[in-house]
């Protein structure tokens, strides 16, 4: 088993990173928070987080900067997808090549750049349906239990399977998946349907239960692409999967709805944009997803 398994460095301490940092620290791991941009950190700093039962927890993480990269043994990247490249770029040539990089974000499409930039590092992908909220710069809430999957994106990552066990001690329902790209695609379908529809309507996820025809049409358009990537479910399978998430998160606003409502960039280029790039490569035409992409882009850029 590789050493230093229990010293995690998190790059991106927002809603999800803050809650993961808290859960990992609570389970006995050493947690450091890394900043690779110029944003100021006021020290000493205590982070607060609330668990699913509403209990308050506190912990004091170490803070690292780019100059500390040589000491990082395990790097978990929890920025937004569109921040991955700018957040990791300063670490090129600084991060030890034996240090595993774990990417955790909605959407797909960052992996190829990370592979090129860090060709020798073990690269792992994570997918989670846990929910987290940022209450302030130093306060976070775990808002929803879910599954977390971790799996290898290159051969060097296979030695790091014990990380799944370690994660499972900190998070409910965490496991290792050799088919991590399938897990990513499953989440991508959910995000490609729920996020743009709710971001455009400004409504909660549950509103899609009244728009089942649109959900079905968007799923249908994705079927040939999903089959090409080895995902075998039929239309009923994908429609029901999306509607089940809409039902389970009926009272929530999707992340894209919240991003647009707050004037932040959305992750559309890594969700629908990624789907469209893959479709183009396969010579598939996805007019409904194309329309959603353009509508979100128009709303995103004033
Ligand atoms: P978030 O709250 O915006 O967190 C991203 C964090 O990354 C921010 O704190 C940001 O800091 C930080 N960051 C960006 N560049 C950095 C850098 N160079 N150095 C250090 N920190 C940097 O977003 P989130 O909700 O946690 O989501 C993160 C990812 O997880 C997204 O892809 C999201 O879709 C996915 N996800 C989220 C949830 C959830 O419930 N929140 C659930 C599942 C998946 P600044 O604020 O200073 O820019
Ligand atoms: O991005 C989101 O908001 C979430 O991934 C999901 C599953 C769509 C629930 O809101």
> What are the tens digits of pLDDT across the range 228-260?
999 999 999 999 999 999 999 999 999 999 999
The reply to whether 275 falls in a domain is yes
pLDDT value, residue 302: 65
Backbone φ and ψ for 149, nearest 5 degrees, come out as -120, 140
278 lines ligand 1 (CB under 6 A): no
Write the DSSP assignment of 77-125 as a string of letters: E-S-GGGHHHHHGGGTTTS-TTS-EEEE-SSS--HHHHHHHSTTS-EEE
Give distance in angstroms: CA of 205 to centre of ligand 2. 8
Question: Domain range for residue 286?
Answer: 182-300
CATH label of the domain that carries residue 286: 1.10.1040.10
* Same domain for 225 and 152: no
Indicate which atom in ligand 1 lies nearest the CA of residue 13: 9
* Same domain for 164 and 267: no
CA distance to 52, 220, 254, 260, 288, per residue, from 211 (Å):
30, 15, 16, 21, 15
The reply to whether 17 falls in a domain is yes
pLDDT value, residue 90: 97
Burial 122-150 (b: 16+ CB within 10 A, else e): bbbbbbbbbbbbbeeeebbbbeeebebbb
The reply to whether 1 falls in a domain is no
The CA distance from 63 to 70, in Å, is 14
CA distance to 24, 62, 110, 141, 254, per residue, from 81 (Å):
22, 24, 7, 21, 16
pTM for the structure as a whole: 0.97
Q: Domain ends where: 121, 147, 177?
A: 177
The reply to whether 2 falls in a domain is no
Indicate which atom in ligand 2 lies nearest the CA of residue 194: 8
Q: Is the bond into 44 cis (omega within 30 degrees of 0)?
A: yes
pLDDT value, residue 266: 98
Q: Could you tell me which of 74, 68, 62 has the C-alpha nearest to residue 94?
A: 68
The number of distinct structural domains making up the chain is 2
The reply to whether 127 falls in a domain is yes
Sheet holding 47-50: strands in order across?
56-59, 47-50, 139-144, 131-136
* DSSP β-bridge partners for residue 175: 149
Catalytic residue selected from 67, 183, 187, 283: 187
Indicate which atom in ligand 2 lies nearest the CA of residue 252: 10
* Same domain for 103 and 189: no
- The reply to whether 187 belongs to the active site is yes
* Same domain for 44 and 151: yes
Contact 32, 45 (CB under 8 A): no
Give distance in angstroms: CA of 18 to centre of ligand 1. 9
* Same domain for 30 and 149: yes
pLDDT value, residue 1: 45
* Same domain for 157 and 199: no
* Same domain for 197 and 171: no
CA distance to 92, 228, 297, per residue, from 275 (Å):
28, 12, 15
When the pLDDT of each residue in the chain is averaged and rounded to a whole number, the result is: 95
The reply to whether 146 falls in a domain is yes
Give the binding-site residues of ligand 2, using a 6 Å CB cut-off.
106, 190-191, 194-195, 205, 245, 249, 252, 254-255
Say how many C-beta atoms besides its own lie within 10 A of residue 173's C-beta.
Answer: 14
pLDDT digits (tens, 9 = 90+) for 163-195: 999 999 999 899 999 999 999 999 999 999 999
* Same domain for 25 and 140: yes
* Same domain for 191 and 134: no
Which residue lies with its CA nearest to atom 22 of ligand 1? 12
Question: What one-character DSSP code corresponds to residue 153?
Answer: S
Mean pLDDT by 10 residues, the chain (302 residues): 75 96 95 88 81 95 94 97 98 97 98 98 98 93 96 97 95 95 98 98 98 98 98 97 97 97 97 98 98 97 68
The reply to whether 115 falls in a domain is yes
The CA distance from 23 to 44, in Å, is 20
* Same domain for 198 and 99: no
The reply to whether 89 falls in a domain is yes
Contact 110, 88 (CB under 8 A): no
Contacts of 204 (CB under 8 A, 6+ apart): 198, 250, 251, 252, 253, 257
* Same domain for 262 and 114: no
Q: Domain ends where: 134, 162, 177?
A: 177
12 lines ligand 1 (CB under 6 A): yes
Q: Domain ends where: 155, 177, 199?
A: 177
CATH label of the domain that carries residue 22: 3.40.50.720
* Same domain for 140 and 46: yes
The CA distance from 61 to 45, in Å, is 8
């Amino acid at each position: 088993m590789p050493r230093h398994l229990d010293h995690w460095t998190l790059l991106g301490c927002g809603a999800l990173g803050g809650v993961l940092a808290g859960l990992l620290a609570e389970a006995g791991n050493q947690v450091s928070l890394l900043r690779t941009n110029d944003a100021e950190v006021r020290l000493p700093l205590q982070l607060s987080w609330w668990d699913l039962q509403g209990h308050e927890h506190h912990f004091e993480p170490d803070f690292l900067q780019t100059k500390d990269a040589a000491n990082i043994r395990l790097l978990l990247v929890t920025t937004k997808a569109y921040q991955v490249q700018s957040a990791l770029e300063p670490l090129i040539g600084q991060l030890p090549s034996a240090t595993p990089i774990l990417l955790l974000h909605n959407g797909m499409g960052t992996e190829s750049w990370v592979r090129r930039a860090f060709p020798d590092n073990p690269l792992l992908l994570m997918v989670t349906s846990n929910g987290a909220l940022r209450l302030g710069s130093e306060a976070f809430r775990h808002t929803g239990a879910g599954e977390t999957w971790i799996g290898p994106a290159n051969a060097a990552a296979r030695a790091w399977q014990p990380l799944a066990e370690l994660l499972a001690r900190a998070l409910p329902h965490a496991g290792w998946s050799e088919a991590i790209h399938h897990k990513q695609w499953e989440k991508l379908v959910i995000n490609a349907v729920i996020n743009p529809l709710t971001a455009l309507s400004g409504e909660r996820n549950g509103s899609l239960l009244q728009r089942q025809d649109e959900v079905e049409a968007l799923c249908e358009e994705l079927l040939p692409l999903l089959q090409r990537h080895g995902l075998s479910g039929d239309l009923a399978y994908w429609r029901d999967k999306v509607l089940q998430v809409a039902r389970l998160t009926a009272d929530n606003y999707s992340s894209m709805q919240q991003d647009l409502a707050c004037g932040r960039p959305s992750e559309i280029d890594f969700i629908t944009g990624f789907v469209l790039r893959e479709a183009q490569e396969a010579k598939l035409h996805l007019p409904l997803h194309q329309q959603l992409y353009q509508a979100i882009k128009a709303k995103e850029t004033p």
